[in-house]
Amino acid sequence: MMIIVNVLVFFWQLGRSFANEDFFYYGAIPGEVMSGGRLYTLVTSMFMHGGLVHIFGNMLYLFIFGDNVEDRFGHAKYFVIYLVFGIVAGLTHSWFSVQSGGEEASIPAVGASGAISGVLGAYVLLYPKARIVTLVFLGFFVRVIRVPSIFFLGFWFIFQFLQGLVNPFSGVAYWAHIGGFVIGFLVAIPFKISGNRRARSW
């Protein structure tokens, strides 16, 4: 469902030629969010994207990891929790942007990656041993291997964290990814515990 909504909004943006005013109206501008203004953009921003590559990358991750997490949460809870992931990610990005004191505080942030990061955080806790098909580039050779999600997503999180520290003004909302991942991991804890209890009851 989330993929469908994102794609529909993308085609709406495409029909409007990615109008700049749409990004400023629906995107989450950190300075305004932190001052309590236009809080609705914490939701609207997570369904907008900056281009084809942006939405393709996000939807690929959501397609790979989202269905298992949705099955574990249930459809209704997943919908609500997905929005919570995106809101927390947006707040995290906004807070760090304002604290930096730079122009980042006035630039609208858009994209589903914060919410999807929450899905990744939940996935790594719920399915740590699930194997993820990964391309490994060895010079001119490409090899396909299967990596346990705890390593694949663990490396992904460490990369986001390091980039957030050393390259915070790259145009990528690394702190939104970090905030989303952390809240996703935390929200999944009771589902993990209840799942373990059911497994022991057999």
The per-residue pLDDT for range 175-186, each reduced to its tens digit, is 999 999 999 999
Q: What is the CATH number of the domain that holds 68?
A: 1.20.1540.10
State how far the Cα of 94 lies from the Cα of 105, in Å rounded to an integer. 7
Please check whether residue 150 lies inside any domain of the structure. Answer: no
Q: Tell me: the pLDDT tens digits for 18-35?
A: 999 999 999 999 999 999
* Structure confidence at residue 193 (pLDDT): 83
User: What pLDDT shows up at residue 156?
Assistant: 93
Residue-level pLDDT at 133: 78
120 in a domain, yes or no? yes
Q: Which residue range forms the structural domain that includes residue 9?
A: 2-126+176-200
Is a pLDDT exceeding 70 seen at residue 125? yes
Is residue 165, in this structure, part of any structural domain at all? no
Query: Can you give the pTM of this predicted structure?
Result: 0.89
Q: What is the DSSP letter of 92?
A: H
Residue 197 above 80 pLDDT?
Answer: no
Could you tell me if residue 143 is inside a domain?
no
Pairwise CA distance, residues 111 & 93, whole Å:
12
Q: Is residue 185 part of a domain?
A: yes
Rounded CA gap, 100 and 102, in Å? 5
Quick: pLDDT tens for 88-116. Answer: 999 999 999 998 877 888 999 999 999 99
Task: Say if 78 falls within a structural domain.
Answer: yes
Strands 141-148 and 131-138: antiparallel
Residue 194 lies inside a defined structural domain of this protein:
yes
pLDDT tens across 145-162, in order? 888 999 999 999 999 999
Say what the pLDDT of residue 57 is: 93
Structure tokens, 117: 């990061």
Return the beta strands (E) in 59-152 as ranges. Answer: 131-138, 141-148
| Residue 190: per-residue pLDDT | 92
Give the CA distances from residue 171 to residues 109, 148, 150, in Å, rounded to whole numbers and listed in that order: 9, 30, 27
- Write out the two tokens for 186: 């935390």
Q: Is residue 145 part of a domain?
A: no
Domain count for the chain = 1
Helix ranges restricted to H, 101-135: 113-126
